[in-house]
Amino acid sequence: MFKKFSDKEMVSSVNNAKSSVQRTIRQSVQEQYPYIESVLNQILPKKDALKVVKCHEHIELLAAQNGEILFFKQREGPYIPTLKLIHKYPFILPPMQVDKGAIRFVLSGANIMCPGLTSPGAKMTKVGNSSIVVVMAEGKQNALAIGLTKMSTEEILQKNKGIGLENLHYLNDGLWNMKPVK
């Protein structure tokens, strides 16, 4: 999604969200990510302005008052936290760990295959199909990517073939390198 993302070419408009829109966004984020409740006021303060950045390909970014990108979504999909936000609050999303052999492929934007999640160096958290997860790596402390499960954990273990996670956002992609929004 963000492999060739360039803020100069892709951003079409930046607007401050109305307070009613902000309330709706806060509520949907809280429903999607139950573990975020304790830090939601730090991430999305009620009194601060929230910027909505519209981009090409129906991508919408949410930025804090200081311009830092916090969440993104495509079309009518869920709001997904950015990696920079996950590095500050790693407990928001359930973790999936890949083995050392998968690191370079994940960092180049490849989807994560089932064998990369079931090998000896990998660990999985029990989640269902179409869940947003954070991708960690064996021997590394910070997250590598944000992914969307294509199968439940049980199906990944059972089949052990095909794409287990779709890579949505990874270190050094266009969204990671995007400058704060003005």
Q: Domain boundary at 82, 105, 139, which?
A: 82
Is 54 found in the same domain as 11?
A: yes
Q: What is the pLDDT of residues 33-44, one digit of tens each?
A: 999 999 999 999
pLDDT recorded at residue 78: 92
Sheet with 132-137: strands ordered across: 112-113, 163-170, 145-149, 132-137, 95-98, 123-124
Does residue 178 lie in a domain region? no
Does residue 177 lie in a domain region? no
Is 101 found in the same domain as 75?
A: no
pLDDT recorded at residue 47: 86
Is 74 found in the same domain as 11?
A: yes
Does residue 46 lie in a domain region? yes
Is 77 found in the same domain as 16?
A: yes
Q: What is the pLDDT of residues 108-138, one digit of tens each?
A: 999 999 999 999 989 999 999 999 999 999 9
Using CB atoms within 10 A of its CB, is residue 179 exposed (0-12), middle (13-18) or buried (19+)?
Answer: exposed
Domain region containing 155: 95-170
pLDDT recorded at residue 156: 94
CATH number reported for the structural domain that contains residue 103 in this entry: 3.10.400.20
pLDDT of residue 8 exceeding 70, the answer is no
Is 115 found in the same domain as 49?
A: no
pLDDT recorded at residue 159: 93
